[in-house]
């Protein structure tokens, strides 16, 4: 059970602000290493964007649409065997758009076959492409864009570009103009073995993580919004939460990097050079989602696990972000993905701009949400005819929803663009004992990226505390 603010002690070795997957992992690793850890979360439940909600007997997952095979090893090593054992593959990934319709297991073997048979690409070109993307790493030349990478291997082939890019845009918000490395790392992770999910849903995973945190001795406090990180003589010495100061030797912020620098600390603590660099960090786009629940007792046909759909003639990052986009991903949750709960739910996901929703009047905002729901159900009918009569709950989330629940700047779903990574990694050099963990730089976002980043940051903090 999370503690209340009244029960927590006055001092800890390290305070973690925020319980996204990055914050949870950092807390768990540091407690496992023997440090006294306090985890403070503003929301009433843990998980950050890895969250769920219940309506009329349905449980809707917000960000459990798919992650790479690498989660298995990461969860086994840094969480526990039970968590690892619930990870299962989503075997049927479907693409439907005016350029092609296909079903794939979304791995290298299947993609090679498809690129040869359906797209007529030479085996030698495909192999060179895979070798090139899988060897990309952080220290490479970062000036090449994803568009340039695609043009080098598949010039003028907008259909191939769409196959390669569309799922990654949904997975990390990146565009053709972002550095190719942000594409290469994530695409190669998926191509390893395909797309995976957590059987039993996000609620089960976060419940298991909470149990592990408690076992390792983390003090957890929800409904606890940190207002300030306290800094004295160039070093952190605690945080202020609900007008109460709690001291610590180190603070790890899992709040967005922009929040951490501009809201939780003060300009005066940073060098001009660092602050200028931080101001130039661009946050990534946000999302809209429509959650649809199927009436108890009704069933739907198995039409695939993840459907990348679009009626737009070609892939276009701007079109994907448009308020009236014709492109959506449908995640279909069958009872087999949530054993024990004999219910079907469907989530339509779209990338989205905060500015399109922020300036609407209350009436217009509600109207746009209803239209989004209607468009999503209408589109879903194309793949599941008759489904609208079976839906007994439909609800929409917008960039404002994501901002409300996570406090992220402009409701960003995937942290920041590439330049945010360097700022996140170097904040501890500006202020002793202050670390950041969480979605940055595109490559450190997503479930796997956030957990792996949590491991990296916990090592940094452990070294700092031991020194």
Token pair of 413, please? 């779903």
Pick from 258, 225, 147, 247: nearest CA to 405: 225
Closest distance between ligand FAD and the C-beta of residue 288, in Å?
8
SS3 147: helix
254 binds ligand FAD (CB under 6 A): yes
Closest distance between ligand FAD and the C-beta of residue 256, in Å?
7
Token pair of 40, please? 């403070």
Report d(CA 295, CA 58) in Å as an integer: 9
74 binds ligand FAD (CB under 6 A): no
238 binds ligand FAD (CB under 6 A): no
Closest distance between ligand FAD and the C-beta of residue 303, in Å?
18
Closest distance between ligand FAD and the C-beta of residue 154, in Å?
26
In the region spanning residues 44 to 63, those forming contacts with ligand FAD, defined by CB under 6 A, are: 48-50, 62-63
Among 214, 300, 303, 407, interactor with ligand FAD by CB under 6 A: 407
In the region spanning residues 419 to 438, those forming contacts with ligand FAD, defined by CB under 6 A, are: 438
Among 174, 287, 368, 409, interactor with ligand FAD by CB under 6 A: 287
Report d(CA 463, CA 432) in Å as an integer: 12
Among 12, 14, 16, 23, interactor with ligand FAD by CB under 6 A: 23
In terms of C-beta density within 10 A (0-12 exposed, 13-18 middle, 19 or more buried), how is residue 61 classed?
Answer: buried
Report angle CA 273, 443, 250 to the nearest 5 degrees: 55
Task: State the helix-helix crossing angle for 108-117 and 158-172, rounded to 10 degrees.
Answer: 150
Token pair of 226, please? 């940190």
Shorter beta-carbon distance to ligand FAD: residue 254 or 368: 254
Among 2, 20, 420, 433, interactor with ligand FAD by CB under 6 A: 20
375 CA to centre of own chain: 24
Closest distance between ligand FAD and the C-beta of residue 385, in Å?
26
> Do 52 and 207 contact (CB within 8 A), yes or no?
no
167 binds ligand FAD (CB under 6 A): no
Q: Which uninterrupted H or E stretch holds 115?
A: helix 108-117
Shorter beta-carbon distance to ligand FAD: residue 160 or 224: 224
Give me the half-sphere count of Cα atoms (radius 13 Å) on the Cβ side of residue 224.
Answer: 27
Pick from 363, 370, 359: nearest CA to 395: 370
65 binds ligand FAD (CB under 6 A): yes
376 binds ligand FAD (CB under 6 A): no
The residues, ordered by sequence, that sit 6+ positions from 426 with a Cβ below 8 Å of its Cβ are 274
In terms of C-beta density within 10 A (0-12 exposed, 13-18 middle, 19 or more buried), how is residue 312 classed?
Answer: middle
Window of 13-21, 146-154, 333-341, 366-374 that interacts with ligand FAD by CB under 6 A:
13-21
200 CA to centre of own chain: 19
219 binds ligand FAD (CB under 6 A): no
Q: How many residues bind ligand FAD (CB under 6 A)?
A: 39
Closest residue by beta carbon to ligand FAD: 20
Neighbours of 341 (CB within 10 A): 15
Window of 38-46, 144-152, 316-324, 336-344 that interacts with ligand FAD by CB under 6 A:
38-46
Report d(CA 211, CA 216) in Å as an integer: 9
In the region spanning residues 320 to 359, those forming contacts with ligand FAD, defined by CB under 6 A, are: 349
In terms of C-beta density within 10 A (0-12 exposed, 13-18 middle, 19 or more buried), how is residue 456 classed?
Answer: middle
Closest distance between ligand FAD and the C-beta of residue 235, in Å?
20
Token pair of 345, please? 């739910």
Among 8, 15, 16, 21, interactor with ligand FAD by CB under 6 A: 21
Among 29, 35, 36, 43, interactor with ligand FAD by CB under 6 A: 43
28 binds ligand FAD (CB under 6 A): no
Window of 95-103, 115-123, 184-192, 442-450 that interacts with ligand FAD by CB under 6 A:
442-450
The binding site for ligand FAD (CB under 6 A) comprises 17-23, 40-43, 48-50, 62-63, 65-67, 225-226, 254-255, 259, 287, 289, 349, 402, 406-407, 413-414, 438-439, 445-448, 450
């Amino acid at each position: 059970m999370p503690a209340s603010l009244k029960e927590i002690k006055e001092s800890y070795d390290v305070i973690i602000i925020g319980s996204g997957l990055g914050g949870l992992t950092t807390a768990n690793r540091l407690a496992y290493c023997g440090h006294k850890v306090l985890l403070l979360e503003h929301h009433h439940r843990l998980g950050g964007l890895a969250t769920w909600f219940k309506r009329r007997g349905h449980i809707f997952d917000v960000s459990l649409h798919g992650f790479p095979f690498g989660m298995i090893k990461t969860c086994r090593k840094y969480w526990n065997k039970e968590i690892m054992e619930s990870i299962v593959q989503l075997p049927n990934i479907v693409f439907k758009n005016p350029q092609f319709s296909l079903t794939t297991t979304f791995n290298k073997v299947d993609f090679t076959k498809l690129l040869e048979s359906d797209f007529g690409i030479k085996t030698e070109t495909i192999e060179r492409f895979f070798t090139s993307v899988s060897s990309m790493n952080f220290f490479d030349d970062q000036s090449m864009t994803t568009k340039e990478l695609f043009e080098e291997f598949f010039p003028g082939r907008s259909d191939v570009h769409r196959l390669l890019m569309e799922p990654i845009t949904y997975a990390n918000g990146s565009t053709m103009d972002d550095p190719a490395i942000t594409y290469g790392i994530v695409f190669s992770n998926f191509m390893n073995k395909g797309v995976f999910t957590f059987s039993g849903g996000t609620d089960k995973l976060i419940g298991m993580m909470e149990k592990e945190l408690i076992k390792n001795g983390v003090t957890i406090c929800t409904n606890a919004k940190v207002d300030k990180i306290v800094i004295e003589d160039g070093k952190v010495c605690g945080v202020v939460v609900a007008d109460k100061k709690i001291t610590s030797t180190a603070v790890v912020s899992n709040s967005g990097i922009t929040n951490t620098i501009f809201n939780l600390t003060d300009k005066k603590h940073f060098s001009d050079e660092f602050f200028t660099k931080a101001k130039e960090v661009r946050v990534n786009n946000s999302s809209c989602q429509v959650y649809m629940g199927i009436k108890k007792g009704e069933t739907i046909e198995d039409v695939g696990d993840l459907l990348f759909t679009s009626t737009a003639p070609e892939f276009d990052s701007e079109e994907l972000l448009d308020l009236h986009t014709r492109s959506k991903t449908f995640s279909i949750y069958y009872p087999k993905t949530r054993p024990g709960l004999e219910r079907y739910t469907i989530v339509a996901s779209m990338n989205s701009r905060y500015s399109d929703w922020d300036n609407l009047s209350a009436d217009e905002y509600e109207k746009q949400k209803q239209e989004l729901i209607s468009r999503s159900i209408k589109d879903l009918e194309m793949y599941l005819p008759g489904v609208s009569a079976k839906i007994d709950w439909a609800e929409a989330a917008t960039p404002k929803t994501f901002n409300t629940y996570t406090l992220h700047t402009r409701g960003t779903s995937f942290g920041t663009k590439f330049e945010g990574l360097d700022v996140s990694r170097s904040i501890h050099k500006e202020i002793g004992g202050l670390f950041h963990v969480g979605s940055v730089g595109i490559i450190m976002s997503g479930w796997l990226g956030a957990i792996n980043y949590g491991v990296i940051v916990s090592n940094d903090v452990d070294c700092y505390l031991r020194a």
